[in-house]
Amino acid sequence: MRDSSPAAQNDTIVTWDPRVPLLIDIQDVLKIFKSAVKTVHALDHISFEVHEGDFVSLVGPSGCGKSTLLKIISGLLPATSGKVSVNGKAVDAPLDNVGMVFQSPVLLKWKTVIGNVMLPVEFARLEKPPYLEKARSLLRLVGLEGFEEMYPHELSGGMQQRVSLCRALVTDPEILLMDEPFGALDAMTRDELDLELLRIWDGKRKTVLFVTHNIQEAVFLSDTVIVMSPRPGRVIRKLGIDLPRPRAMEMMSAGKFGEYTLQIRAMLASSSGTPGAAVGSTT
């Protein structure tokens, strides 16, 4: 099997720069959903670390608990057992230094673009004027200058998702949790937004946890790709992606990129029990 060859093994060793402090520490997290009807074992002894400024992707088949894991990290959902800490503090309530982007833009239909971006500021009862300035500059950053007073239904899907990205960034959170944010977009718009996200990440150096089922997207964006098994979700492998930054679309056709995607695909296929089964899409 490809990923058991010595060369491949070397690739999987993730070497952390000791000067970069640890930000998110996930240890032995287990999640079981119990209802009257059935018990679902969602996450199985998940452990990994994320350092400050890292771009980490979680890849796995649908229903492997990726989104559940994000919720646990953000403190919106308690783990059944195990420990999650952020900045050395155990997470036991919703974190206030995270921004969230979901698969659908979930914008308020009755608010303008700028109003939607300002929603977290309103909830957090922060002083508005400085953040209004920030919201405008974020919108400028994603190419939505001049759209501030428009309503969500007047925008395309890609533009709506850009607004939701601005909304996640407006309070300047340390961590960005992204749950298949571009999964519902067409391939071209997704590429565009991937590049934009990297540009923003380069400039602001947020720590990003990015859930996707798109292998190429994960490799293209990340420093580390965490490959997860089907339910109950386990970590199969933490794969360090050694590609130069800033990343460019041309890299996708380079040899190393292909090796990474093939490797991940093989891991996913063997973990699902059906060799060669198409797990996730790579378009």
Partner 1 sequence: MKFSVKNVAEPLIFFVALLALWEVLVEFFRVPAFILPPPGDLYVAFTAKFYILYKHAMVTFIEAVGGFTLSFILGVAFAVGVVYSRHLQNTIYPLIVILYAMPKSAFAPLMVIWIGYGLYSKIAIAFLVAFFPIVVNTVVGLKEVEPELLDLARINKGSEFDIFRKIRLPNSLPYMFAGIKVAIVLSVTGAIVAEFVAANEGLGYLILQANYSLDTALALVILLILAFLSLALFIGVEVLQRKLAPWSAEVRQIEGSF
| Contacting residues toward partner 1, per CB under 8 A | 71, 74, 76, 94-96, 98, 100, 102, 104, 106, 108-110, 119-125, 151, 153, 167, 171
Nearest approach, Cβ of 155 to partner 1 (angstroms)?
A: 12
Residue nearer to partner 1 on the CB measure, 173 or 239: 173
Nearest approach, Cβ of 78 to partner 1 (angstroms)?
A: 13
Q: For residue 156, what is the DSSP state? A: -
Which residue, among 177, 169, 96, has the nearest Cα to 135 in the 3D structure? 169
Nearest approach, Cβ of 216 to partner 1 (angstroms)?
A: 26
Nearest approach, Cβ of 113 to partner 1 (angstroms)?
A: 14
Residue 22, burial from CB neighbour count under 10 angstroms (0-12, 13-18, 19+):
middle
Nearest approach, Cβ of 131 to partner 1 (angstroms)?
A: 12
Please report where in the chains the tokens 């973990």 appear, as a residue: 271
DSSP SS3 for 265? helix
Amino acid identity of residue 248, one-letter, is A
Residue nearer to partner 1 on the CB measure, 71 or 190: 71
Buried b (16+ CB within 10 A) or exposed e, 111-127: ebbbbbbbebbeeeeee
Residue nearer to partner 1 on the CB measure, 120 or 158: 120
Dihedral angle of Cα 9, 10, 12, 18, to the nearest 10 degrees: 150
Residue nearer to partner 1 on the CB measure, 69 or 98: 98
Q: How far is CA 157 from CA 49, 113, 153, 163, in A?
A: 33, 13, 9, 10
Nearest approach, Cβ of 184 to partner 1 (angstroms)?
A: 13
Residue nearer to partner 1 on the CB measure, 167 or 237: 167
Residue nearer to partner 1 on the CB measure, 19 or 153: 153
